[in-house]
Amino acid sequence: PYVGPNDKIPVNDHRNVELELLNPGLVHLELYRIAKAAKQLGVPYAPCLLGFEGHGGNRTPTIRGLVVHEHNADLLREAHVEMQSHLVETEYKERQREIYGKWKRLIKGMMTKERLAREYAND
pTM for the whole structure: 0.72
Of 110, 11, 13, nearest to 66 (Cα)?
Answer: 11
pLDDT at 59 over 70: yes
pLDDT of residue 49: 93
The dihedral over CA atoms of 43, 46, 50, 51, expressed in degrees to the nearest 10, equals: 170
φ, ψ for residue 32 (rounded to 5)? Answer: -65, 125
Looking at the predicted structure, is the pLDDT value of residue 56 above 80?
no
The closest of 57, 48, 55, 56 to 16, measured between CA atoms, is 48
* pLDDT(122) > 80: no
What is the structure's pLDDT at 123? 63
Q: At what angle do helices 34-41 and 70-120 cross, to 10 degrees?
A: 110
pLDDT digits (tens, 9 = 90+) for 64-118: 999 999 999 999 999 999 999 999 999 999 999 999 999 999 999 999 999 999 9
